[in-house]
């Protein structure tokens, strides 16, 4: 049976829909997982019942994370925030992490993981990181290569791609500043921005700053990320069944 992969959602501007891009769904399914969207439930902070039914958890892209979660006031360039989504995802992360469930974070997702592990963020790399190159093109298709990423050898990410340098897309203005506990940076863009992280512990906890879900159909190499995540979720499922 396919492992069940939970996919985090976001609220529409009118708060009428709890939704997510179909690209995440298609990529998970193509990699062998069974995607299930997890809705944002009003006034709810306990999502353990959802975690109990899952084999893996994917944190998706979207809103800026509120800077008070890492002890800062907002800079002028901060964009949309949603405390409702922040609380929902931090609750999901805590429950999944405590169960040693495989966790994969994309764009906002890598930032969520880092803050959940007591790390911090650059709220706006263009104003806070001198010499920053382009990371958020306005008129470029989401499946286009945009900038290079350097991958460290002897890391899980290197095992997945088998290459030290790849090109990715890029749609973000925030990034990791101080790494959270038990995390290491495994890839950087050539201006020094952290592009990937993973856990120092024996678990699947991986985050990337780009959007591989937008690339998998045109550039199948990015499906390797989802396959590695799904495989870890299969192993987790098997352990849970045997307990």
Could you list the active site residues?
107, 211, 213
Angle made by CA atoms 107, 199, 37, in degrees to the nearest 5: 45
Nearest-5° Cα angle at 186, 184 to 192:
100
CA 90 to CA 70: how far, in whole Å? Answer: 13
Between the two ends of the chain, the Cα-to-Cα distance in Å is 18
Pairwise CA distance, residues 172 & 65, whole Å: 12
Q: Residue 64 carries which DSSP code?
A: B
Distances (CA, A) of 134 to 76, 77, 140, 152, 237: 19, 16, 12, 22, 40
């Amino acid at each position: 049976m396919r492992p069940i992969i939970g996919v985090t959602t976001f609220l529409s501007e009118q708060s009428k829909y709890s939704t997510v891009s179909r690209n995440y769904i298609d990529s998970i399914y193509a990699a062998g997982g069974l995607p299930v969207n997890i809705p944002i439930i009003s006034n709810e902070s306990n999502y353990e019942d959802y975690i109990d039914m899952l084999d893996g958890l994917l944190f998706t892209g979207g809103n800026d994370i509120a800077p008070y979660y890492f002890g800062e006031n907002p800079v002028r360039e901060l964009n949309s925030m949603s405390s409702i989504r922040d609380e929902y995802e931090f609750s999901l992360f805590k429950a999944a992490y405590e169960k040693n469930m495989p966790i994969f974070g994309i764009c906002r997702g890598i930032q969520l993981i880092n803050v959940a592990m007591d790390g911090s963020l650059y709220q706006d790399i263009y104003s806070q990181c001198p010499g920053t190159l382009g990371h958020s093109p306005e008129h470029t298709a989401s499946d286009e290569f945009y900038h290079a990423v350097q991958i460290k050898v002897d890391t899980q990410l290197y095992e997945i791609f088998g290459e030290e340098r790849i090109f990715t897309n890029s749609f973000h203005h925030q990034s990791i500043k101080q790494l959270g506990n038990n995390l290491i940076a495994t890839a950087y863009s050539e201006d020094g921005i952290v592009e990937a992280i993973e856990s120092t512990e024996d678990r699947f906890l991986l985050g990337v700053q780009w959007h591989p879900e937008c690339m998998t159909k045109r550039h199948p190499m990015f499906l390797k990320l989802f396959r590695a995540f799904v495989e870890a979720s299969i192993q987790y499922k098997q352990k849970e069944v045997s307990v």
